[in-house]
């Protein structure tokens, strides 16, 4: 395993530096995306294609319908075993049909002993998986063995497109604590976190569960309730609303480097100190990793809203983005190509079947063309590669975003999944035998992803910087 991954890192380095662009529009509540790149990604940047899929924030996008409707909840058990690896699809290859993928990935998931490892090789920004379907209340439980080491964070969260969020996070130096948290619409709060004591989270499998109803959130470990938060405790008199997560959310699993030197000091401290790339896990395995076993989603299945999953998709009909503004509809959820948006879902449709994704990937990733970026984390999209992890929001695109400058220095090591060789070596099935005929695709994708990974580190700093505020 070790040499494989080292080789992978080397391959990544070689591919670095292809494409960089700094002209990607950013977005926030005060600054919506332009019509030409209408979709605001989870990490606050504008684009088309995959920017309009999971994580697209309608409040910050050009119009409410710029984002593609979100696939409704499905009861499901994800085995996370070898056979299910082909249901983990790179973000550069997913167009929004949840029957084609269970998870969308950025980074490097690897199968090991019939579990899925999320890996973080030296100098990378880790790996994130996001579910392709959304939960509108319900229960999700996951068998997890966390990562370890100073500055290394494992996360299992629910995150909505308007940044309602319910979290488990584990810091690699605090292996007896599961940290829990929640956010309403990404509004920073200093008082919502809570800890649950557990036996060593690195050595032991535990089953972590989030039970989320319109009235309360419960965090359970191995079937025992460790924390309960009631909606009734969350009234915000200033805003005249419940500051309680209430909108359809994706499950996100990640490992990310909270202890990067470029992060805010508060973040690094919270994450257990600076990350060391000479840690035994890097030496022995080639990466830090968190291990995910079976994951089970049970939808809330309300008879009437909120919390239904009767149709195909959810969308928002108001900028308030509260639970009474979510519509459970039969609108389609898939784009014809990476040129599409919520208001032009067939854009770029090709008569020739297989070509669509390749050409769109190329165009989207290339800063030299005038095509807006289409794959968060591709090409020039610094902020979007990033594992969600903590409070994956940077309200106003603000705090900590200074990190986006030093990204180049990371040189794009890390997690290239588009590289054909890497594929063969590490058996990350998704990017291997997809039968892609165009060799140009692999090449392009490699350059793109490498670059984006490099920038991602800094973007992560931006995201993490925000989390870090809470600990300053
Ligand atoms: C949770 O545990 C962490 C690590 O031990 C600690 O820093 C933090 O203050 C705790 N949070 C709460 C709310 O007790
Ligand atoms: C109440 O809502 C306002 C406006 O959204 C927000 O700024 C404030 O932080 C909230 N109060 C608390 C205690 O979270
Ligand atoms: C969600 O919607 C229901 C019914 O409209 C409402 O009673 C409830 O307060 C809402 N929940 C939250 C958290 O806003």
| Active-site position among 165, 207, 216, 233 | 165
Ligand 1 touching residue 173 (CB < 6 A): no
Q: What's the whole-number mean pLDDT along residues 267-290?
A: 97
CA-270 nearest atom, ligand 1:
7
Query: How high is the pLDDT of residue 23?
Result: 73
Q: How many CB atoms lie within 10 A of CB 238?
A: 6
Distance from residue 263's CA to the centre of ligand 2 (Å): 26
Confidence of residue 352 (pLDDT cuts 50, 70, 90): low
Annotated active-site residue in 35, 169, 174, 294: 169
Phi–psi pair at 465, nearest 5 degrees = -55, -35
Ligand 2 centre to CA of 262 (Å) is 29
CATH code at position 246:
2.60.120.200
Check if 306 has its Cβ closer than 6 Å to any atom of ligand 3: yes
Dist. CA 364–CA 412, nearest whole Å = 19
Does ligand 3 come within 6 angstroms of the Cβ of 214? yes
Residue 246 in contact with ligand 3 by CB distance below 6 A: yes
Tell me the average pLDDT of the chain. 77
Point out the ligand nearest to the CA of residue 231.
3
Cβ of 241 below 6 Å from ligand 1: no
pLDDT digits (tens, 9 = 90+) for 115-127: 999 999 999 999 9
Ligand 2 atom closest to residue 239's alpha carbon, by position in its atom list: 2
Q: DSSP secondary-structure letter at 457?
A: H
Query: What is the spatial distance between Cα 316 and Cα 390, in angstroms, rounded to a whole number?
Result: 24
Work out the average pLDDT over 201-210: 98
Judged by its nearest atom, the ligand closest to the C-alpha of residue 180 is 1
Per-residue pLDDT tens for 60-88?
999 999 999 999 999 999 999 999 999 99
Is 390 a residue whose pLDDT tops 50? no
Q: Show the DSSP H helices in 263-373 as ranges.
A: 265-270, 280-285, 355-365
Active-site residue 165, yes or no?
A: yes
Q: How big is the CA angle at 364 (ends 361 and 368), to the nearest 5 degrees?
A: 125
Q: Is 213 in the pocket of ligand 3 (CB under 6 A)?
A: no
Mutate to test the pocket of ligand 3, among 136, 187, 214 (most ligand atoms within 8 A of CB): 214
Q: How far does the centroid of ligand 2 lie from the alpha carbon of residue 320, in Å?
A: 14
Higher per-residue confidence, 434 vs 330: 330
Measure the CA angle with vertex 177, ends 172 and 183; round to 5°. Answer: 95
Q: Is the pLDDT of residue 255 over 70?
A: yes
Q: Do 67 and 52 meet the contact criterion of CB atoms below 8 Å apart? A: yes
Whether 381 has a pLDDT exceeding 90, the answer reads: no
Ligand in closest contact with the CA of 237: 2
The pTM (predicted TM-score) of the whole model is 0.78
Q: How many domains does the chain have?
A: 1
Q: Is 429 in contact with 110 (CB distance < 8 Å)?
A: no
Domain span at 64: 4-435+441-471
Question: Atom 5 of ligand 3 has which residue's CA nearest to it?
Answer: 324
Among 40-44, 192-196, 411-415, the least confident range: 411-415
Taking CA atoms only, the protein residue closest to ligand 2 atom 7 is 187
Cβ of 343 closer than 6 Å to ligand 1, yes or no, is no
177 in contact with ligand 1, CB cutoff 6 A: yes
Compute the average pLDDT of residues 312-320.
98
Reply yes or no on whether the pLDDT at 247 is more than 60: yes
Nearest to 379 by CA among 430, 428, 444, 457: 444
């Amino acid at each position: 395993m070790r040499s494989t991954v080292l080789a992978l890192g080397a391959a990544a380095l070689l591919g670095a530096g292809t494409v960089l662009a700094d002209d990607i529009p950013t977005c926030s509540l005060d600054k919506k995306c332009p019509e030409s790149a209408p979709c605001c990604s989870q990490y606050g940047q504008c684009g088309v294609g995959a920017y309009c899929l999971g994580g697209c924030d309608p409040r910050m996008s050009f119009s409410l319908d710029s984002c593609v409707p979100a696939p409704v909840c499905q009861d499901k058990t994800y085995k996370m075993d070898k056979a299910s690896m082909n249901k983990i699809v790179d973000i550069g290859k997913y167009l929004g049909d949840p029957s084609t993928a269970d998870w969308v990935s950025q980074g490097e998931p690897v199968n090991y002993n019939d579990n899925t490892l999320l890996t973080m090789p030296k100098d990378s920004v880790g790996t994130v998986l996001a579910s392709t379907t959304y939960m509108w209340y319900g229960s999700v439980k996951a068998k997890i063995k966390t990562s370890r080491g100073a500055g290394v964070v494992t996360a299992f969260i629910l995150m909505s497109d308007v940044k309602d969020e319910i979290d488990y996070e584990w810091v690699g130096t605090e292996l007896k604590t599961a940290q829990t948290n929640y956010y309403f619409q990404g509004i920073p709060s200093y008082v919502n976190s809570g800890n649950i004591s557990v036996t060593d989270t690195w050595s032991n499998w535990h089953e972590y569960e989030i039970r989320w109803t319109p009235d309360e959130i419960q965090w359970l470990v191995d079937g025992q309730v460790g924390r309960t938060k009631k909606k009734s405790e969350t009234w915000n008199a200033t805003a005249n609303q419940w500051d309680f997560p209430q909108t359809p959310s994706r499950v996100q699993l990640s490992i990310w480097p909270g202890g990067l030197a470029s992060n805010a000091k508060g973040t690094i401290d919270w994450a257990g100190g600076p990350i060391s790339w000479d840690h035994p896990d890097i030496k022995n395995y080639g990466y830090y990793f968190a291990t995910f076993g079976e994951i089970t989603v049970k939808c809330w299945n309300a008879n009437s809203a909120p919390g239904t999953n009767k149709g195909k998709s959810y969308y928002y009909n108001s900028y308030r983005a509260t639970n009474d503004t979510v519509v459970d509809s039969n609108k389609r959820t898939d784009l014809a190509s990476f040129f599409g948006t919520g208001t032009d879902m067939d854009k770029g449709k090709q008569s020739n079947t297989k070509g669509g994704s390749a050409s769109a990937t190329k165009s989207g990733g290339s800063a030299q063309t005038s095509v807006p970026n289409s794959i968060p984390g591709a090409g020039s999209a610094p902020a979007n590669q990033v594992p969600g992890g903590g409070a994956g929001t940077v309200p106003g695109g603000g705090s900590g975003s200074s990190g986006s400058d030093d990204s180049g220095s990371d040189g794009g090591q890390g997690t290239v999944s588009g590289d054909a060789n890497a594929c063969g070596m590490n058996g990350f099935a998704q990017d291997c035998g997809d039968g892609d005929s165009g060799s140009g695709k692999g090449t392009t994708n490699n350059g793109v992803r490498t670059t984006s990974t490099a920038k991602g580190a800094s973007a992560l700093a931006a995201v993490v910087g925000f989390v870090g505020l809470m600990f300053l």
